Every structure is written in structure tokens, then in C-alpha cells.
Amino acid sequence: MKGPEDDAGLSGKVAIISGGGAAGDGIGNGRAAAILLARSGAHVLVADRELKLAERTVEMIKAEGGHAAAFAGDMTQEVECKRLVDAAVDHWGRLDFLDNNIGIGSRGSVVDEKPEEYRRVMQINVETMFLVSKHAIPAMIKTAKGGSIVNISSISALRPRGLTTYTTSKAAVIGLTKAMAVDHGKDNIRVNCICPGPMYTPMVYARGMSDAARSQRARASVLKTEGTGWDVGHAVRFLLSAHARYITGQVLTVDGGVTLQGPERDSQDH
């Protein structure tokens, strides 16, 4: 499992990946981050609402000789978020890193959207990050004298395209990131945000995607190629690592240059 990669201060550290499962053997953003952190020597607690999805990520890590454990819980419930953080500390005695990766999509304008759906999207996409961080930060301070957090937003926060509730929630993630960075810099905790573009992940292709739609998404980027969960995972690992020691409160766009071009409404959520 160990390669020539510089572990950048990750070896022996402990990370929580919320939303770290994925369907089958697919590589979602959270699963990729979990595997890459484990390859760099971190101990990873993989959390997902469905235990079997988290367990599959753990199996993939352990097959490479890494250290990981699975956790099942509903992160919209504060008691579950506390239980998640406690589990990481109980397993390995400390907490250094958090990748807030939970999110769902939504479509339509404020006129189209139902109020209950708006509240559900905001709860899952924003409040879960608030709640997990609320318990992770004190644990980082107590057990590791600092740490690093990455929150996953979306390019939809930067370039609205007909996904109003989703855009609103992902824009809130950016605001939350910057506020947390200011609040907890004094605690030696860095907080950054990633805005993925049109990644080809299980969450996207599980809904079905034609070859034409997939090709359209690839053409939307300057590089004329699609992104994958690995692209986001590498960005997460970088921002959590010591290589990013002087980076906090920043938004890293990982989109192949999609946001450099004119907006195009399509039929898939980012």
C-alpha cells in the first residue's frame, strides 16, 4: 500500500470522512478521499448513512494494508454527530482531520421548489457540516492541538444554472467555511472548501446517464474531459496535509475549467 508519495504529515493522523461510502465499487468523492488518506498512512473513520456502503470503502482500504473503520449514522441528528467524533477518538485516541462530504441535489426555481424540500436540502447539505464540525473541532483541539477541515461545496455555488435550492445550500457551505476559518485559526485549525465540477461519480451515474449526456459534460470543461472522485480526493488530501499549512478559508475549484466558460444548463447535478 505504501508508495513513494510524501505523506505530508498525514501518517499516523486520524481522519473522519462523512459521506465516505458509495454504491458498489464506485469511486465517489468521499471514498476517494478516504482511500488516498489511508494510502498516506492516516487512520480513517468512514461514515455513511448506510453501513454497507461505508464498510465497502473500509474493505477497499484494508485490502491495500490501510487502517480504517466504518460508522453508520444520520448526520442530521446532533447526537449521531457526537457519536461519530467519539468513535474516532475511541478508535485511535485523537482526531486531526474532517472531510465534510454529505450532500444531495435539487432542481428548480424558488417558484418551483416546495418549502419542505428546500428545508431538507439545507439540512443535509449545510446543517450536517455545522453539526459534525461542532463536535469535531473541540476534539481536534483537545486531542491534537489543532487540525484541518475540508467542506465540499459545488461549482453551482459559483455559477447558478437552474438548481436554486442546491446552489443556495452550496453557497452557504462557502460562507460557513470562511466563518469557521476565522473563528478557529486561533485554535490551529484550518478550514477550506472544494467546489467540484461535473464529476463522474456513483451519485451521478446511478440516476442513469446517456453517452451523449456524458460527452456533453466533458465538453463543458476547458480540458474537454470529465472529472472523477479521484480528482476531488486528491484535492482533499492536499488541503488536509502539511503542504497546505498556510492555506485557510479558501475555495478550491476542481472543475477542469468549466467555470471559465459560459454557463450551460444541463440535466445533471454537480
CATH of the domain at 196: 3.40.50.720
pLDDT tens, residue by residue, 123-148: 999 999 999 999 999 999 999 999 99
Q: How confident is the model at residue 269, as a pLDDT?
A: 45
Neighbours of 73 (CB within 10 A): 20
Over 70: is that where the pLDDT of 32 sits?
yes
Q: Is residue 176 part of a domain?
A: yes
Residue 4's pLDDT is 41
**Statement: residue 267 has pLDDT above 60:** no
Structural domain includes residue 189: yes
pLDDT above 80 for 205: no
Between 213 and 59, where is the model more confident? 59
**The pLDDT of residue 227:** 93
Residue 2 lies in a domain: no
- Answer yes or no: is 37 within a domain: yes
- Is residue 192 in some structural domain? yes
Residue 186 has pLDDT above 60, yes or no: yes
pLDDT of res. 7: 56
pLDDT of residue 260 exceeding 80, the answer is yes
Catalytically active residues are 166
CA-to-CA distance for 107 and 114, rounded, in angstroms? 11
**Per-residue model confidence (pLDDT) at position 1:** 46
Give 201-204's long-range contacts (Cβ < 8 A, gap of 24+).
201/22, 201/26, 201/27, 201/28, 201/29, 201/228, 201/229, 202/22, 202/23, 202/24, 202/26, 202/27, 202/28, 203/22, 203/28, 203/105, 204/268, 204/269
Is the separation of the CB atoms in 22 and 29 below 8 Å?
no
Task: Assess if residue 6 is contained within a domain.
Answer: no
Q: Is the pLDDT of residue 243 over 80?
A: yes
Spatial separation of the C-alpha atoms in residues 194 and 93, rounded to whole Å: 28
Give the structural domain span for 82: 14-258
212 vs 237: which has the higher pLDDT: 237
- The DSSP bridge pattern shows strands 189-196 and 199-200 to be unpaired
Q: By the 8 A CB rule, do 103 and 124 touch?
A: yes
Q: What is the pLDDT of residue 210?
A: 80
Establish if 118 belongs to a structural domain. Answer: yes
Q: Residue 87: its pLDDT value, please?
A: 98
Q: Is there a domain that residue 9 lies in?
A: no
**What confidence score (pLDDT) does residue 185 get?**
98
Cα separation, 38 vs 240, in Å, equals 13
Predicted pLDDT of residue 171: 98
Quick check: 42 pLDDT over 70?
yes
Coil/strand/helix, residue 62: helix
- Counting the structural domains of the chain, the total is 1
What's the confidence (pLDDT) of residue 202? 76
Per-residue pLDDT, averaged over 16-27, amounts to: 95
What percent of the chain is predicted at pLDDT more than 90?
82
The reported pTM is 0.93
